[in-house]
Structure 1
Amino acid sequence: MRIHVLFWTMFIFFGVVFNVALHNQMRVTFPLFWSDLVDPLTPIGYARTILMCYLSLWIFDRLLRQHFHGLAVIVLLGLIALDVLLRYCIEQLFLGPVFGIWQYPAGIRIWAYFGETVFFSALGIFLCFLLKTINDFFHQETLRHEKVTMELAYLRAQLNPHFLFNTMNNLYGLSLTEPARTPDVVLRLGEMMRYMLYESNETYVPLTREIEYVIGFIELEKLRYAQQTNVDFIVGGNVNGVLIAPLLLISFVENAFKHGQLHEAQFPVRIELSVSKEILHFETQNRLVTQQHDSSGRIGLRNVRRRLSLLYPDKHLLRVWQEQDTFRVRLEININQSN
């Protein structure tokens, strides 16, 4: 309501200033301004304009929103004709005869009002349509941003319980077989939980923190395997000062551990991350143990694809494919978008 009052106050102020300047050789003084403002024809004219604007907004909401374009045009033309009739009745049938206030000579026909009135009525309706279009655009952008924010929060909420579920299962098994190693796993899990709970709520985090998280995950996974675990994690390029969406890479690493061959030195799980200019390159490669069908893995990949489309639209390239018994992931992100 306050915005509407402020808008119309400014609209009337500048309208009066323009009218005074137009009729006084571009000279505007306070006495001239005040005289034009208190002229009965001025508030009546602006009252008509405000009425026409809100009636046209009602038409836009009721008819254009439902795509009744032809009917909307007819109703708007009728609204302009109503404005002409309203002005004629006010000036020729009321203000003139009763108060002696005439803008046009007495007794002229209604057709004399058409030219000027139609122009300003149409201009006012067009202005309302333009303002409504701009307002609807920003409103939709706000809703879209809120939807994206809520969806990202939901996707992260799905990811965290998934990770915790797997880790707690592993922790339970380790506590039964090797209880002496359990405290190390709990400590590492606590460090990772701190990152997940407090830092990953940001839209972007330093890439170095994401790398630390991946390293922690790898070390945690190694703790629960009695056999030698063969994992090569290679980081290249200058990763300092680079930002990335949090918990974006872990789904690929988790899948590589879950489905990959970990115990043969000639077939290590290979994870590579590098930064070159404005592009972040991330790859995983693992030899498949068996053809496993795990819905949680598909959920993780769907989530990360969705997050990439929301956070890096048209700024990323993701390939996931299988070559015989080797599973590969290749991700490229234009990290300049997050800076």
Structure 2
Amino acid sequence: MSKISNGKLRKEINYQTGLWIALFIFGIFRNYGEPEQPDFREVFYYGVCHWIFQIIGANWIYFILIRRFFEAKKYFHFMLYLIAGMYILGVLNRLFIVYAAEPLFSNYPQNSIFDILTDVKYLLFHYILPIISGSFIFVSMMFMLRYRDEKQNALQLQKEKSELELKALKAQLNPHFLFNTLNNIYSLSITGSDAVSKSISRLSDILDYILYHGQKEMVPITAEMKIVKDYIALEMLRYDERLKLEIEEKVAFPGLIPPLLYLSFVENAFKHGAEKTSGNVTIRISIETHANASLFRIENQFFGKHKKPGTGIGLENIRRQLDLYYPNQYTLAIAQADNWFKVNLMTPTT
């Protein structure tokens, strides 16, 4: 927290330094360029004196009056302290010039303290308005910087929230997937199938993918399709001849997708298709990439009752991940008809 505060303080000091130096130089050349052409030393000293009180007044208005009173909706106190404060700063600025600065470069007669306190019109136009003008520029800059920082903070918080949510969703999907796969291997081991060793090898490849690729933000579509094939090979050991697989790949353009995205759809098709029937079942998978979009399709037969399309923990998590990865940039269509459950997903290629 202290590092963040120190960094913010340094930034504010740097911004203020640049702004006040620029305003000082502008004021010096503006006054020196007037027709009367006053002595540069005189212009410089007057400029420094006004500049000091502009800095004091601007910081007092922003950090005290605006932050503590105006933003707290204490408008009466804000106006009262603003008027009183501007008058006091104007008087102090005038006193400083008359009794501290002018003796250094001129022999002007000194006004009495009473004259300085009561000449409100002169104070207003020659001291208070310059302080207010400098304060207005400073406060405007601070509000712009504050708006930028708040916007950046909001974006950072949203990014962190999205990353945490994605991790939570993946944490839900991965155990769900592993649980089903381990059940498959367990079923094979009970029957004494020779396919157990092959299943474990396939599972090892899948676990390697989950551990080393599943935490990435994006993976190549070719890498995702490879692990999809490993998973299918694992499932084929369980279903043997009664499962018919049709896979079509047209990856003409390289593309990236969130890890485990296609695999989750495939796992869902096996769970709600082949696993729910003892007869023959068909699953069709196709992937097609174009310059701007990738189209993934999967269809599986089902028999008997089936949940409403798009429901279930797996599909709901997938939809939420897509919302986070591709806000308003993807199309997901889920439908069922004539004992076929169909998923069509279109995502940006890059």
Query: What is the Cα deviation at residue 230 of structure 1?
Result: 0.6
Of the three residues 254, 260, 264, the one matched with 1:247 is 260
Q: Give, in whole Å, the separation in 2 of the partners of 1:256 and 1:121.
A: 66
SS state at 1:249 partner: helix
Alignment map for 1:166-181 (pairs within 5 Å)? 166-181=180-195
Task: Look up the match of 2:57.
Answer: 48
Asked whether the 8 Å contact 1:230–1:263 carries over to 2, the reply is no
Percent of aligned pairs with the same residue? 25
1:147 aligns with 2:161: yes
Query: Partner letter of residue 233 of structure 2?
Result: E
Q: Distance in 2 between matches of 1:185 and 1:215?
A: 13
Is the CA contact 1:259–1:289 (under 8 Å) kept in the aligned structure 2?
no
Distance (Å, rounded) in 2 between the aligned partners of 1:21 and 1:136: 36
- Given the superposition, is the C-alpha separation of residues 9 and 114 from structure 1 closer, same or farther in structure 2, using an over 3 Å criterion? closer
Structure 1 residue 79 displacement after superposition: 5.4
One-letter amino acid matched to 1:91: N
Report the more deviating stretch, 43-52 or 243-252: 43-52
The one-letter code matched in structure 1 to 2:96 is L
Q: CA deviation at 1:15?
A: 2.4
Of 221, 235, 238, which aligns to 2:249? 235
Taking structure 2 as the reference length, the TM-score comes to: 0.80
Are 2:293 and 2:347, in contact at CA under 8 Å, matched by a contact in 1? yes
Q: Which amino acid aligns with 2:192?
A: E
Distance (Å, rounded) in 1 between the aligned partners of 2:70 and 2:212? 44
Residue identity matched to 2:89:
R
1:162 Cα shift?
0.8
Q: Which runs of 5+ in 2 are unaligned?
A: 1-8, 35-39
Match of 2:24 in 1: 16
Aligned length: 321
Whether 1:327 aligns to 2:329 is: no
Question: Which secondary structure does the structure 1 equivalent of 2:242 belong to?
Answer: coil
Counting only pairs closer than 5 Å after superposition, residues 158-169 of structure 1 correspond to structure 2 as: 158-169=172-183
Greater Cα radius of gyration, structure 1 or 2: 2
TM-score by length of 1: 0.83
Q: Helix, strand or coil: the match of 1:273?
A: strand
Superposed displacement of residue 258, structure 1: 1.4
Look up the SS of the partner of 1:230 in the other structure: strand
Matches within 5 A, 1:102-141: 107=116, 108-109=119-120, 110-112=123-125, 113-141=127-155
C-alpha separation in 2, matches of 1:37 and 1:306: 64
SS of structure 2 residue aligned to 1:322? strand
Give SS of 2:295's match.
strand
What is the Cα-based RMSD across aligned positions, in Å? 3.3
Where structure 1 has 5 or more consecutive residues not aligned to the other structure, the ranges are 64-70
